[in-house]
Amino acid sequence: MDWSSRAHKTLQNPRFFLTKIPVGWGECHLNDTRILCWNGRERCEGWGYLGAWSEGERAILESLGQLLENKMWSFVQEISLREAEAWLRDRNSQAALPEDSYQDLREFWGDIQQAIKEWASGGKVLRDFHFPSEKTFSSLSLPEKIQQLKAFFSSERLSGFYRQGGRLEVLDVEGMTVYIALFCSTIPPGALLDWLQLTLAETFREPALNLIPEDFPSRTP
């Protein structure tokens, strides 16, 4: 079947495709290089996607961006990809693009909705983290180190820290030294840093890992 002219125009002039995730945005990594991200605590104030999405998926993601813009996050739990496809139609009676062109996105949509629900309720999307058994931290390249650290700091291992209002971001890595922006909220900083240091050394199989904390620009979360 032919694609709608609206779907073609959407792909020719994408509004929401990004080359990197903006600082402070929520994100959902699928099982490969595809990433969806968003911003806004109560409503959708930012929407974007990165990576190797198919044309059909990109068209649907662009449509979702248009439909979700400035909407409350509860709307995400109600909207379907069928509605996003309908927004791309030239005529109501004719589909805008084949269903199989965004089939993978349909399979992941429930996971994406859940990730956004977690973000809206707690400001952080937490996932399981498993460091590759065949690697050590020292064997990784700088981008790999940063990627693994970010994944660890966004894992369920830190759920208690985030529930108490803590904030943490990776700033830089130099060898075995990791610089982080840290807001401890009501948690004693010394005890938290000791725990983080021990947990990182064990998780990444690198006893020489050293954490250097710095303040966020604002002390309020």
Per residue in 74-85, pLDDT (tens digit) is 899 899 999 999
- Output phi, psi for 60, to 5 deg: -65, -40
Position 1 scores a pLDDT of: 64
* Greater model confidence, 173 or 41: 173
Position 215 scores a pLDDT of: 82
The DSSP secondary-structure symbol of 14 reads: -
> Average pLDDT, stretch 161-168?
72
Among candidate residues 195, 193, 24, 52, the one with its CA nearest the CA of residue 125: 24
What whole-number distance in Å separates Cα of residue 168 and Cα of residue 150? 10
Confidence of residue 29 (pLDDT cuts 50, 70, 90): confident
> Average pLDDT, stretch 45-65?
95
In the predicted model, what is the mean pLDDT of the chain? 86
Position 31 scores a pLDDT of: 67
Measured at the CA of 43, the angle between CA 38 and CA 48, to 5 degrees, comes to 20
Among candidate residues 122, 120, 139, 142, the one with its CA nearest the CA of residue 131: 139
What whole-number distance in Å separates Cα of residue 182 and Cα of residue 132? 26
3-state secondary structure of 220: coil
Position 161 scores a pLDDT of: 78
Q: How far does CA 36 lie from the centroid of its chain? A: 6
Per residue in 128-157, pLDDT (tens digit) is 788 888 888 888 999 999 989 988 887 778
3-state secondary structure of 171: strand
